[in-house]
């Protein structure tokens, strides 16, 4: 069994604005090991993005424990958190979040800006990652010269360029047609086989099928955890 990378204990998240408060997470406990491929599913409003944002250290829970790689996240300083987000975590979003004026090499190099890697090495790493997602022939292109699937592959290359411990993807195929979605999921599967830990949010069962384990959320709680027998752990 691989080492535990994520541990959540009775995590709660309340959003407050004035008199109104929304209990978005209502006691979520969960353990994820290195090299697991997890899908989080559930209806709109069930807390999936809230959970992802906390797991990705973009937001803090109202109460409960979150240990990432054995460290309690709530005790980390802002600098620690920024370092963890930059070095240990890669993010992939539904709407790609690429910078339109930069070519794709520059886009993929962005996360390396705050590391001590020099420009030559950074460019080389970005090009290697773009080759890994089969975009080595598009290096000079800017995002709007590419298809949706190609843009998402650039975003995946950017998420990987720092060699993160975990990739978080929130509805990564939400803006893609079904054929392109399959290509993107095949890419995630390949990364998983190469050892990557992947946590992905989707509301599509066909996408969740690629994961080893599906966490079903409802009303801010884990309703059930389903193990996918056709994707061995």
- Give the shortest CB-49-to-Mg ion separation in angstroms: 3
46 binds ligand ADP (CB under 6 A): yes
In the list ligand ADP, Mg ion, none, the entry touching 173 (Cβ below 5 to 8 angstroms by class) is none
**45/148 with CB nearer ligand ADP:** 45
**55/127 with CB nearer Mg ion:** 55
**44/137 with CB nearer ligand ADP:** 44
In the list ligand ADP, Mg ion, none, the entry touching 230 (Cβ below 5 to 8 angstroms by class) is none
Map residues 66-105 to x or -, x wherever contact with Mg ion holds by CB under 5 A.
Answer: ----------------------------------------
158 binds ligand ADP (CB under 6 A): no
Q: How far is it, in rounded angstroms, from Cα 45 to Cα 207?
A: 19
Return the C-alpha torsion angle 161, 163, 165, 166, nearest 10: 20
223 binds ligand ADP (CB under 6 A): no
**17/44 with CB nearer Mg ion:** 44
- Give the shortest CB-58-to-Mg ion separation in angstroms: 13
49 binds Mg ion (CB under 5 A): yes
Hey, how many other C-beta atoms are within 10 angstroms of the C-beta on 197? 21
- Give the shortest CB-198-to-ligand ADP separation in angstroms: 18
169 binds ligand ADP (CB under 6 A): no
In the list Mg ion, ligand ADP, none, the entry touching 46 (Cβ below 5 to 8 angstroms by class) is ligand ADP
In the list Mg ion, ligand ADP, none, the entry touching 22 (Cβ below 5 to 8 angstroms by class) is ligand ADP
114 binds ligand ADP (CB under 6 A): no
Query: Between the CA of residue 131 and those of 71, 124, 127, what are the distances in Å?
Result: 34, 11, 6
The footprint of ligand ADP (CB under 6 A) covers: 15, 22, 24, 42, 44-50
């Amino acid at each position: 069994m691989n080492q535990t990378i994520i541990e959540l204990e009775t995590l709660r998240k309340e959003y407050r604005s004035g008199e109104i408060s929304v209990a978005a997470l209502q006691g979520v406990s969960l353990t994820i090991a290195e090299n697991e491929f997890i899908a989080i599913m559930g209806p709109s409003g069930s807390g999936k993005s809230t959970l992802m944002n906390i797991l990705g250290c973009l937001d803090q829970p109202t109460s409960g424990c979150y240990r990432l790689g054995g460290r309690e996240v709530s005790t980390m300083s802002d600098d620690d958190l920024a370092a963890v987000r930059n070095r240990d975590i890669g993010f992939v979003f539904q709407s790609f979040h690429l910078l339109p004026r930069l070519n794709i090499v520059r886009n993929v190099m962005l996360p390396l800006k705050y590391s001590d890697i020099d420009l030559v090495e950074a460019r080389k790493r970005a090009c290697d990652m773009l080759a890994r997602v089969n975009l080595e022939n598009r290096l000079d292109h800017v995002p709007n010269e590419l298809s949706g699937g190609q843009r998402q592959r650039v975003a995946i290359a950017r998420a990987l360029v720092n060699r993160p411990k975990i990739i978080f993807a929130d509805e990564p195929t939400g803006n893609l047609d079904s054929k392109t979605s399959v290509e993107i999921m095949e890419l995630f599967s390949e990364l998983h086989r190469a050892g990557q830990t992947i946590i992905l949010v989707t509301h599509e069962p066909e996408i969740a099928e690629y994961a080893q384990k599906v966490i079903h959320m409802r009303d801010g709680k884990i309703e059930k955890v389903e193990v996918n027998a056709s994707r061995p752990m």
